[in-house]
Amino acid sequence: MIQLPCPWCGPRNVAEFRYAGEATARPDPRTAEPQQWRQYLYHRRNACGWVQENWYHSAGCRKYIRLERETLTNQTRPAGAAR
């Protein structure tokens, strides 16, 4: 069991959150080709190490937050609010 650093609620149990995936850059909707959208939809870096992620604090402040997690050890550290 791990705790996630919510910028609004402090460190909270991971069970309160919903995983919203790796933080990736969204293509520009005005110029993006279908190929780029598919790349954005399907491909992930899936790195083994520190990764920037989005989480939704569904049983807490109900805000999307961004944090950093080490994907091998599941250590976490704050990275500021996502949006």
| Three-state DSSP class for residue 13 | strand
| Residue from 19, 32, 59, 77 binding other proteins (CB under 8 A) | 19
Instruction: Report if residue 46 touches other proteins, rule: CB under 8 A.
Output: yes
Neighbours of 13 (CB within 10 A): 12
CB of 6 to other proteins, least distance (A): 15
Instruction: Report if residue 25 touches other proteins, rule: CB under 8 A.
Output: no
| Nearest one of 18, 17, 20 to 53, comparing CA atoms | 20
Looking at the DSSP bridge assignments, the partners of residue 78 are 67
Q: How far apart are CA 38 and CA 53, in angstroms?
A: 20
Instruction: Report if residue 72 touches other proteins, rule: CB under 8 A.
Output: yes
**Applying CB under 8 A, which residues contact other proteins?**
1, 14-15, 18-19, 21-22, 34-35, 38-39, 41-48, 71-74
